[in-house]
């Protein structure tokens, strides 16, 4: 069995309850975005100066997502493509919010982060099982891939 199949199956073990699954469909993308927004909010400083030829791409969020995508590609190239598209959407949304509400992105992102995690823990209370990342931190990155694999299955795309 491929590593991605093992990880998705193990993640799925603590996500059987319908309500908890529904909560994850809302909160996992919200948490992913909120982290992108928080990291996007970190001043670029020397990074922006060193990589000025990249323009707006020269930010910590882009670099962080690049590293995250390297992890995903080690698990599944097709899932990486989906995560790349979602990551690009999150970056675009962070950029939009940053331009629309100057200096407020970190506050918006922090609010989303806290609220989404509270709801996630409620979901796991309903499920009666601890979040998977308590066992292994990499499950923080498997959650978004777990949702993406359902989208792929629905579309008939092998992951």
pLDDT at site 79:
96
| C-alpha closest to that of 15 among 144, 115, 138 | 144
What pLDDT score does 29 carry? Answer: 98
**Domain tally for the chain?**
1
What's the domain range around 91?
3-155
**Across 53-60, average pLDDT:** 65
pLDDT digits (tens, 9 = 90+) for 107-132: 999 999 999 999 999 999 999 998 88
Contact (CB, 8 A) for 131 and 121: yes
pLDDT score, position 88: 97
Model confidence pLDDT, tens digit, residues 16-25: 999 999 999 9
Q: Which residues contact 60 (CB under 8 A, 6 or more apart)?
A: 39, 40, 42, 44, 47
Q: Quick one: tokens of 18?
A: 């319908």
- CA 150 to chain centroid: 15
């Amino acid at each position: 069995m491929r590593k991605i199949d093992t990880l998705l199956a193990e993640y799925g073990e603590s996500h059987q309850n319908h309500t908890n699954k529904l909560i994850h469909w809302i909160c996992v993308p919200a948490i992913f975005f909120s982290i992108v927004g928080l990291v996007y909010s970190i001043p670029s400083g020397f990074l922006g100066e060193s990589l000025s030829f990249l323009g707006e791409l020269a930010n910590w969020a882009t670099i962080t997502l690049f590293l995250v995508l390297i992890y995903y590609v080690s698990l599944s190239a097709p899932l990486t493509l989906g995560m790349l598209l979602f990551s690009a959407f999150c970056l675009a949304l962070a950029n939009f919010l940053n331009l629309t509400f100057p200096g407020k992105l970190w506050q918006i992102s922090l609010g989303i982060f806290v609220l989404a995690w509270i709801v996630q823990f409620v979901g796991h209370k309903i499920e009666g099982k601890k979040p998977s990342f308590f066992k292994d931190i990499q499950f923080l990155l498997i959650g978004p891939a777990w949702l993406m694999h359902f989208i792929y299955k629905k579309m008939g795309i092998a992951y």
